[in-house]
Structure 1
C-alpha cells in the first residue's frame, strides 16, 4: 500500500512540473504599437492640398493610417506672421485634440515653410512640432518674389531681407527640440538662389538629378527620405 501512494505522489508532481514548464514557454501578448505622429502637409503659393496627393499615397502605402495624415489650406497672399501663423496654430490644435497626440510632424513646400516656421519659432509651436520639413522653401528669400511683392503680401514676405525673413533667420535658425530637414534642387526655377532653402542646424539635402520646383512634390526619392526622417 505504501508503494502505491508514493507512485501516485510522484506522478502528480511530474504533472505539475510539466504544466509549469508549458506555462513558462507560452508567448507573452504582443504590446500594442502606438500610432505614428500625425503629419500636416502645407502647400506653397497659388496651390492647394491636392499637390500632396502623390506623397500622401506613399505614406498610406507605407502603413500610415488615413486618420494620421492632414493638410492645411490657406490664402497664400495673406501675411505670414500676422495672419497665417495663427491660423496654422489653430489647425495644429484641432488635430492634436482630434487625435489625442501630443505633437505633430509638418511637411511643407515652397511658401508653406514661412508661416509654419514662424509658428515654431514665435507662436508656441516648438513643443508641438516634432519634425519640420521644407521642400524648396524660400527660407532666405527668392529674387522672383519681387515680381509680385507690390500686391501680394505672401510674395513680399518671400523677398530677401523682408521683415519676416530677418526675424526667422535671426539667432538660431532651427530653434528648440524640433528636428529640421530641407530638400533643395540645383535646378529649382522658383527659388533664387537655390541654396536659399538650406538652414543652419537642419539636415540639408540636395536632390540628385535636376528636378524643378514642383517636381520635388512627386519625387520618389524625396518622398522616401521624408518618410524616413519624420519616422526617426
Structure 2
C-alpha cells in the first residue's frame, strides 16, 4: 500500500471540494478500493471518505411512491429498511457478500464501481431507477456504459438512487461461492406499462437488458413465455467458473425462475 492523505468530510459540498485536489479518490465502504490499495493497484494521493456524510444515508419514500436510497447507505441497511417498500430489492441486498461486506459496502460505491458481476446494477436497470448525483439526474439506461464504466464524470458523487416500485419483482442469483458475486443473476420487474429484465454477471460488457424477454413477458408474464427464446453466447464471460454457453443458458433459466417467483 502506498502512502496517502485521508480526509473525512461531513457534507457533500466538502467532499466535492476535497475530490477536486489532484489524484484524490472517493472512499465509500471500501470493499473494492481497499483491496486494490493493498495490492498497489491504486495509488491516490488523498482518500476522501464519504462515511461521515449523513445526508447521503438512509431509505425513504418520496411523494411519487419511489424508494429513495442514499448513496452512502449500506447493503445491510437497505435489506432492513427497504423490505416493507420494495421486498425484492431488500432481499437482493441481504444476499450480497457476507455480513462484513453488507455492513460496510454501500449502494453508491457499488454503482460507481460497476463491477460486471455486482448485484445492484441489475436492480437499478430492471427498476428503471434514477441515479442522483451532486450535479444531475441520470436515467438507469444512460448510466451503465460497459464493464467498470459509467456516466459519472470526474469528481461526481452519487448522493441518492430513486427506485420506482414495480407491481411484481424478483432477483435470482447463481452465486460464485468463492467471491459471493453473481456467476450470473437476473432481476425481473413488472410494471403497469411492461416488464424489464436486467442481467448481471454474464456479459463482458457488464449489466444489460434482455429486451426479447421483456417483450415476451410483457405479453404473458409466465415462465412459458420464454420457451422459444435463447440468449446468444457471443460476448459472454468465459472463465474457469463457466463458459459463455453456460452463462447464456443460465440467463434464460434464472429469468424463468424470477418470473415464477414474482408471479
- TM-score higher than 0.5: no
Greater relative contact order (Cα < 8 A, sep 6+): 1
Identify, as 1 or 2, the structure richer in helix: 1
Identify, as 1 or 2, the structure richer in strand: 2
Give the alignment's TM-score, normalised by structure 1: 0.29
Higher-Rg member (1/2): 1
Give the alignment's TM-score, normalised by structure 2: 0.27
